[in-house]
Each structure stands twice: as structure tokens, then as C-alpha cells.
Amino acid sequence: MGCCFSEPIDFDGEVNLFHFDLHRAVGKGAFGKVRVVEHKRSKHLYALKYIDKAQCIKQKAIANIIQERRLLEEIDHAFIVNLRYAFQDDENCFFVLDLMLGGDLRFHLERKGHLGEEVVRFWVAEIACGLQYLHQQRIIHRDLKPDNILLDSEGHAHITDFNVAIHYSERRMHNSVAGSMAYMAPEVISKKGYTWYVDWWSLGVTAWELLFHRRPFDGRTVEQMRNAIQKETLRFPENVEHKCSPAGMSALSQFLERNPSRRLGCRPGHGFEDVRNNPWFVDLDFDRLEAKELQPPFVPDMKKANFDVTHELDEFLMVEKPLTHQKRKANPDLEKMKPELRQLEEQFTVYDYTRSKRMSYYPHNQPVTVVRDGASDCGELDASMLEQSQNMTGTMMATATIATRSLAGSPPPPEMRHSIDIPPVPRPSTATRTPPRPSTARAPSQS
């Protein structure tokens, strides 16, 4: 009578997939999925984001994956989906992140049609705290939208998806087009140079959409949308007073100010204090808010799935190759690898938050590129990438994240220097933060 025993897991060695039990799939991206996983020793629950290397190479996204991995190592904040572990096997790169089972704001918006002002105001305040922290770390998110804001089980909002996030410099501005066009600030679309203040515009678009189930600037074509964002007058929907207070309308108008030096959160000499003291937020205790001591006005129903259940069906029906634990090939020969795989081996390094101190790659974390035959690994902006579809309500569906080649920043052009005042860089925070304790709840069933 024979019996098979699995090899013991070396929890004292480098973290790998064998350290985790795999549970249900809760999301899907361009190159892989997001699974709930449970650390076998600590019993903590996490979200496992895994990226297929072959698909990543095919889509020329190696630079973005490495950039995201580096940036996430620098970040630890109450309203951000923080990185806990990073590693790879022969087929995939893995991000182990804080688990958010409350669903993304796109999911809840589509389910409810629109969300109440008090709910939206609370989330906007939390996300504003997260953005201020990122900007203090010299990071621009560049893709803030309802799809990239996740709720935990208690209803707190968290920023996720740093695939096109970058560092910014105090001396040079960026001019590459990245993000989702419907949420891009005018200065991104115009390619005249931008920095951290573009995230505050995106927050304004997001808040508007959550309140009114439509965006402030839309268009059926790329050109129409570009023109709307840059030139159209901001108009509130009819019967706006039934959905938003005068203070809320004023705050939205200030977030959607085309001149960055007058935009809420960006005014020189004021910055984030403008947000804290704005009439829409003035009665919120931001110190208690950041400590997560305030009760969220919306709590997800954890008895229901707060995500698209078809993510699980894909693997159950064998539509896609299921994720499995696999041993790595011993002593791989880097010289014989494809350049892209070698770059991943060398630069997508192992991270373990229980052992490693978070570090900053700035200013050395310049955009990474793989160059072949004179072409960058990031595709140029193309109209076909930005085609939009309309749903039955006439609201534009979520736009895909796009990015042009990540070039080094450029100085602001002469005409911009004279037309606006460039907001100063937010002062870095000296406060240290204690990482939130990961969830120890039992994992959801895969069935």
C-alpha cells in the first residue's frame, strides 16, 4: 500500500506560491486573475494578483509590471491596497496584496444606479487622504476611476492598480499619455506637461460619476471626448439639488478646474488643507478618518458576492488554464533566456513585508523600457485603443487603461510657464505608519 506525501514547506526560505492555499477567483485583468489566498502558516487572507509572463511579453508590458512592483514596495497607507509579498515562478509574476472583499466602486455603481451624497463624500475624503500620501511619496497614480477603488468588508475605500503609476520630479514634468481617457485631466490630453495635480481632476470625475451615474465630459468618439474635456462648460444634471448639496457641487466644480493652480487640492500654499477645510468636508474629522475610526455610511453586503462570479466559472469550466502550485526550474541560465524573461528575473525581485523594510527607488526608479529594433515596449496612443461603448442608460462604460511610451519628464513649455503657476510639491510626511493587520477570517469556499 503506497502513500504519497507532499514535500514540507520551507516557511523560513523565500516566499513562494506553496506558502499559500488558493481559494476563489474574485477579479480578472489583462494578463491574469485575482484570487483569494490564505497563508498556510499565519492563516492571514490576501488577494493574489498573478500575471502571465507570456501574455505580458506579447502585450509588451514588461516595463509596466516591473514599475508597478517597484512602486508598490514604497507604499503603505490605510486607504491603499498595499503590497505584502512579491515573487514569481516560471510562468507567472505574483503580487500578494491586502484583501478587499467589498467589491470595486464600479460594481456598486452599476448595481445601485447612483450612490448617495454622504456615501460618496466619505469615499472621496478617504481617497483624497490616499492621494495626498502618494504625492508625498512623489508618486502619481494616473488611473484613478471607480474600477480602481476597492472596498474592504467594512466599507472603507482603497486605491488599487498602479500599472501606469510613475514617480514625478520637482524639476521636470511628464508628457506621456496614460490612464483612462474619460478620467484624464486636460493637461494630460494636451501633452503640454503635467505632474501630481492630475490625480485631483480624476478624483473629481470619479465623484461626479458616483453621484450622477454619468461623467461630466463624454463623447462617442475619441476626438469628441478630447474636445469635451478640454473645452466644454461644466454642466450639472437636471434636478441636481435632489442628489447633491450646494457644498458638494462647489467641491466638484473646484476639482474639475482646468487651471491646475486653482484646482481643489492643488492651490500653491494650501494644497491638501484646502480639501480638509472645504465646506463639503469640513465636518469630517480627518485624523479619525485616516485612523479608520469613523463608521462608513455604506457597508457592503458580505452575504452576497461583491464581484462578477464569472471569474470563478472560467476556471471551473476549464475556459482558462487554472493556477497551480509549480516548482521552479533549478538554476536557470539567464544568458539563454529571452531578454524580457531575463529582465523579469533580475528586476521583479522577491518582497516579503514581514522581513523587508519598505524602500524607495526614487530617483533611480526611472521608467523601465525594453527596446527591440528601436521600438519601445509601450505602445503609442492609438484611437482604436480608446473606442468607447455605451450602455443602455447612455453612460459610457469603463474605459481601458492605456499608456504611451514612458519617457523621461520634460520641463514645462514656455507658454505653460506664463499661463499657470505650477503647484509646489507637497511636503513629505515624517509620520510613520503601522501596517494594518491582514485579515484572519476564513477564506471563502471555492465551490
* Residue among 143, 147, 161, 199 flagged as catalytic: 143
Cell of 49: 494578483
SS (H, E, C) the chain: CCCCCCCCCCCCCCCCHHHEEEEEEEEECCCCEEEEEEECCCCCEEEEEEEEHHHHHHCCCHHHHHHHHHHHHHCCCCCECCEEEEEECCCEEEEEECCCCCCEHHHHHHHHCCCCHHHHHHHHHHHHHHHHHHHHCCEECCCCCHHHEEECCCCCEEECCCCCCEECCCCCEECCCEECHHHCCHHHHCCCCECCCHHHHHHHHHHHHHHHCCCCCCCCCHHHHHHHHHHCCCCCCCCHHHCCCHHHHHHHHHHCCCCHHHCCCCCCCCCHHHHHCCCCCCCCCHHHHHCCCCCCCCCCCCCCCCCCCHHHHHHHCCCCCCCCCCCCCCCCCHHHCCHHHHHHHHHCCCEECCCCCCCCCCCCCCCCCCCECCECCCCCCCHHHHCCCECCCCCECCCCCEECCCCCCECCCHHHHHHCCCCCCCCCCCCCCCCCCCECCCCCCCC
Q: Give the separation between CA 270 and CA 426, rounded to whole angstroms.
A: 10
Contact by Cβ (8 Å): 197, 211: no
Q: What are phi and psi of 65, to 5 degrees?
A: -65, -45
Q: Give the separation between CA 314 and CA 320, rounded to whole angstroms.
A: 6
How many C-beta atoms surround the C-beta of residue 291 within 10 A?
10
Contact by Cβ (8 Å): 143, 161: yes
60: annotated binding-site residue?
Answer: no
CB within 8 A of 337, min separation 6: which ones? 345
Residue identified by cell 474574485 is: 26
Contact by Cβ (8 Å): 158, 147: no
Q: Is 199 a catalytic residue?
A: no
Q: Which residues are annotated as a binding site?
A: 49
Q: Mind telling me the catalytic residues?
A: 143
Q: Which residues are annotated as a binding site for ATP?
A: 49
